[in-house]
Amino acid sequence: MNCPAILAALIMAAPAVAQDAVTWPGQNGGFTMTLRPVGEGAHIASFDVRNQLTPMGTPETATLTLGPLNVGVVVAHRAGSEPDTVALRVPKGFVAIPATLDLQEGEAGTISIFILADMVMG
């Protein structure tokens, strides 16, 4: 049984739910994270993040849910002009590329989530 493939099918069939986005309060709309379905072969989801100045300590954690896929997020907020680091924790059978992002204040980035067994390494 290919559990990641079954999970991917459920993700694509599931409607977006409230836990697929998180906003932490701060300047310019705060620190925002969204998990969205993609469905392009092994690439099943994308995690979008925008780093805005927040009054938070370090580290902060959240869980985003898209259908049956639960993705853990750890954000290390750094002081001043130091970039903040966002790291994803995906379930077994999946891979996040890149696994971490370093973002300056006001910067945005995307992490792609793939089914590991369906990836073709070249």
Tens digit of each residue's pLDDT (9 = 90 or more) over 38-96: 877 888 899 999 988 776 666 788 888 888 889 999 988 887 778 889 999 999 989 99
| Domain layout of the chain by residue ranges | 3-118
Q: For residue 30, what pLDDT is reported?
A: 67
Cross-strand bridge partners of residue 46:
36, 112
Q: For residue 14, what pLDDT is reported?
A: 47
Average pLDDT, the chain: 78
The vertex-34 CA angle with 115 and 52, nearest 5°, equals 130
- In degrees and rounded to multiples of 5, residue 51 shows phi and psi of -90, 115
Q: For residue 86, what pLDDT is reported?
A: 92
Q: What is the pTM of this model?
A: 0.78
What whole-number distance in Å separates Cα of residue 53 and Cα of residue 31?
Answer: 7
Q: How many CA atoms lie within 13 A of 93 on its CB side?
A: 11
73 class by beta-carbon count within 10 Å (0-12 exposed, 13-18 middle, 19+ buried): buried
